[in-house]
Structure 1
Amino acid sequence: MSQLRAIAGIAIALTLLHHGQALAQAKPAASKKIYCWNEGGKKVCGDALPASAANSARTEISTKSGMTTGRVDRALTDDERTAAEIAAAAARKQAEAIAAQERRDLAMVDSYTTENDLRRAYGERISLLDETIKSSKMGIGGLRLSLLSELRQAGDQELAGAPVTKRLTDSIRGQHAELLRQRQILSAQEEDRAALKRELLDSVRRYREMKGEAKDTAAPQPAAEAAQS
């Protein structure tokens, strides 16, 4: 009995070995590649890629078909990688700005029923700025008159042969500095008003475009209704 078992075991082992050899023969061999890259201005090809060419641009060719199976760009330098990251960040920022503008456009169309409503809203903002600019101009006018008055006082003291007092000198300097500051504020306010006017024109343009798109995408009338209209 033990002899029969041993013979059976040998037969099973031979069967498994034969089956394994058959699988190994049936399994296709891995496709080999030829690598081609530039080295010192010359094209170099080989069946193995050396470490010196690991970062170089290369073409991969199948030895079986002779066809190009892939192309690998060279590795970027640190400066190039940094420039690419900056460009990608700028592109993302621009895409986000465009998406935000589209959301504002949709909100604008929802908020204002007509173009006149939109213009009226901007008109109120422009009127507030106009009032602010008017107040700034009046303040600057008052400062200028006060400064001129003190300059005349200083001139009179010098003509009289008396030294200009420290109090008057400090006041002149302070008012002059304040006048320059108020002029800068006024300039910024006028720039804001000009920017708001440009924004109004741009908003009206986008509003008309959005309204036009809404009309174009409206559902078409049935043929019967269209004929009646």
Structure 2
Amino acid sequence: MNRFLPKLTGALLLSCALLAGAQDKAGKKLFCWNENGRKVCGDALPASAVDSAREELSGSSGLRIGEVGRALNDEERRAHETEQKRLKAEADAAEAARRRDAALAESYGSEEELRRAYRIRYDLIDESIKSSRLALDNLHQSLRRMLEQAGERELSGKPVAKPMADNIRQQRDSYLELQEAYAHQQREREAIDQQLQEAVARYREMKAPKTDAAPAGTNAPTRG
């Protein structure tokens, strides 16, 4: 019996070695990548292929188990970062809109309350527009009188005094600045029109049952 022990021991050692080899092979990966236009595979990546796109294969079955894209260059990385920022900005805007709509539905008990809040804004901007229009008319009349006086002096052969010329220039600059402010106020009122329409549409959507039909159009207050 003793003479069979060495053979048995050797067989067991061989089996263990084969099993360990099979397990080691099963745990390994094979990598395949393109190098100079041809496909190269190996069980280790050379330094030249670390940034290359590659497939990962099972060491035991040879089946594809994964994939790694190539490393991005500086320009592609910047483009990727820009795209990620854009997507985040869109997600943030969508979340802000969701919170805004929720606050809109909670802040006003009825559509009339919502419209009443906007009427306050309309009253304020309309009063500003009215004041700017009146100031523009007054400045225009004053500037016209000064220009007429300067023209009369020139026609009579008299020079336009420097204080008068400076005053005309200052009045003209003030008139142009006020014109721009007046135009800005008009654009602001148009923006409030748009905001009211959007707010009413969102309010109706938040309050209405999901099966309701689309809301009808909204009307903004008209200027007096």
Task: Tell me the TM-score normalised to structure 2 length.
Answer: 0.80
Is 1:137 aligned to 2:118, yes or no?
A: no
> Displacement, 1:167?
0.6
Aligned partner of 2:24 among 25, 29, 36: 29
Aligned equivalent of 1:82, options 58, 78, 85:
78
Task: Return the offset for 1:33.
Answer: 2.5
- Does residue 190 of structure 2 align to residue 194 of structure 1? yes
Amino acid paired to 1:92 = K
- State the shift of 1:213 in Å: 4.5
Q: Does 1:70 align with 2:58?
A: no
- Structure 1 position 138, deviation (Å): 0.9
- With 134-143 and 44-53 compared, the bigger mean Cα shift is at 44-53
Instruction: Find the aligned partners of 1:22 and 1:63 in 2 and give their Cα distance.
Output: 20
Separation (CA, whole Å) in 2 of partners of 1:49 and 1:165: 88
Alignment gaps of 5+ in structure 2: 1-12, 213-224
Runs of 4+ in 1 over 4 A off after TM superposition: 20-27, 213-216
Identity of aligned pairs, percent? Answer: 45
Q: Distance in 2 between matches of 1:86 and 1:213?
A: 39
Identify the residue that residue 175 of structure 1 maps to in structure 2. 171
Distance (Å, rounded) in 2 between the aligned partners of 1:112 and 1:193? 22
Aligned to 2:55, the other structure's residue is in SS state strand
The answer to whether 1:103 aligns with 2:99 is yes
SS of match in other structure, 1:70: strand
2:148 maps to amino acid: R
Matched, 1:93 2:89: yes
Match of 1:210 in 2: 206
Stretches of structure 1 lacking an aligned partner (at least 5 in a row)? 1-19, 217-229
- The corresponding residue for 2:218 is none
CA distance, structure 2, for counterparts of residue 152 and residue 21 of structure 1: 117
Q: Distance in 1 between matches of 2:151 and 2:37?
A: 81
TM value normalised by structure 1: 0.79
